[in-house]
Amino acid sequence: MLRINGLTKQFGGLRVLDEVSFQVPEGIIYGLIGPNGAGKTTLFNLITGILKSNTGTVHLGDELLTGLPPHRVTQAGIGRTFQNIRIFREMTLLENVMVGMHDHLRYGLAGTLLALPSHRREEKRGRERARELLSWLSLDTKATIEAGSLSYGEQRKLELARALATEPKVLLIDEPAAGMNPAETEELMGEITCISRRGYTILLIEHDMRLVMGLCQRIAVLNFGVLIAEGAPAEIRCNPEVVEAYLGKDV
Ligand SMILES: Nc1ncnc2c1ncn2[C@@H]1O[C@H](COP(=O)(O)OP(=O)(O)O)[C@@H](O)[C@H]1O
Ligand SMILES: [Mg+2]
């Protein structure tokens, strides 16, 4: 589904990704782990076109994403969340999600100004879809309140609903459980599993090892920009290089 081939990224003299290659099969939750500064978020920025790689390619199915601007990558079917929350605090949850789907609502400015029936239908459809996406994250009861009044954990989930609003084939999620308490993390794991079962392919960056091992069917491990391991969770857990690099020698 998503093919990453030989991606290298340098910032000045610092090589933060070094010939990284792996493939994310359709329909699974694929984990991307590694110590702080390993290059995980940079990899997301390369896939989404926010940054340009020095070498290498990214394909979504048969489509080459490398070189496309970010909005074209979104249109091609890549949705993402950010490591730091980026919601509109003064807007309602529904409005936040609907902002994410504006590419998919077909009416133009003229339709908006004239309040054409076709526009009202689109608007209604968008609103219904936004409510549905919020319900996937157990946020539908708060659809009409301001996003700024949500707890930190709920704001992270709103980010996910908004990423889904772009109707992606592949969803890139950057540390969704960061700052969540254990109960919120548990709930989130269930919700991400349900989203995956709805047919989405998910690439997940996560620090919480328990979350990664329980959630992902395959895992890639980055260390100082180098892919040091790739495989099923059981293989990753037993890989001595991973244990040393990621978990520390005393684990
Ligand atoms: N825009 C940038 N300019 C310079 N260095 C950067 C930039 N973005 C990230 N880096 C550096 O690249 C390395 C990898 O960062 P990052 O991808 O955020 O790691 P991770 O998400 O795995 O913690 C770090 O050393 C970071 O300081
Ligand atoms: Mg990061």
What is the per-residue pLDDT across 97-123, written as a single tens digit (0 to 9) for each? Answer: 998 786 555 555 555 566 677 777 888
Ligand sitting nearest the alpha carbon of 43 = 1
Nearest CA among 148, 149, 176 for reference residue 161: 176
Q: Ligand 1, closest atom to CA 43? A: 17
Residue 83 CA: which ligand 1 atom is closest? 21
Residues of the chain with pLDDT under 50: 249-251
Measure 104 CA to ligand 2 centroid, in angstroms.
Answer: 29
The four Cα atoms 164, 165, 167, 171 give a dihedral, to 10 degrees, of -20
Single-letter amino acid code for the residue at 7: L
Cα separation, 67 vs 46, whole angstroms: 10
| Ligand 1 pocket member 41 (CB < 6 A) | yes
Whether 52 is in the pocket of ligand 1, judged by its Cβ within 6 Å, is: no
Q: Does the beta carbon of 39 sit less than 6 angstroms from any atom of ligand 1?
A: yes
Which residues touch 193 (CB under 8 Å, ≥6 apart)? 29, 215
34 lines ligand 1 (CB under 6 A): yes
Rounded to whole angstroms, the Cα distance separating 45 from 80 reads: 10
Report which of 219, 248, 222 is spatially closest to residue 236, judged by C-alpha positions. Answer: 219
Residue 121: what pLDDT? 82
Whether residue 39 contacts residue 83, with contact meaning beta carbons closer than 8 Å, is answered with no
Using the 8-state DSSP alphabet, how is residue 153 labeled? H
Assigned fold of 1-77+185-251:
Rossmann fold (3.40.50)
Give domain limits for the chain.
Answer: 1-77+185-251, 89-167
Q: Are 233 and 216 in contact (CB under 8 A)?
A: yes
CA pair distance 72, 67, nearest whole angstrom: 10
Tokens of 137: 């994250």
Q: What is the pLDDT of residue 120?
A: 78
Confidence (pLDDT) at 250: 47
Is residue 37 in contact with ligand 1, taking CB distance under 6 Å? Answer: yes
Q: Which residues are CB-neighbours of 190 under 8 A, at least 6 positions away?
A: none
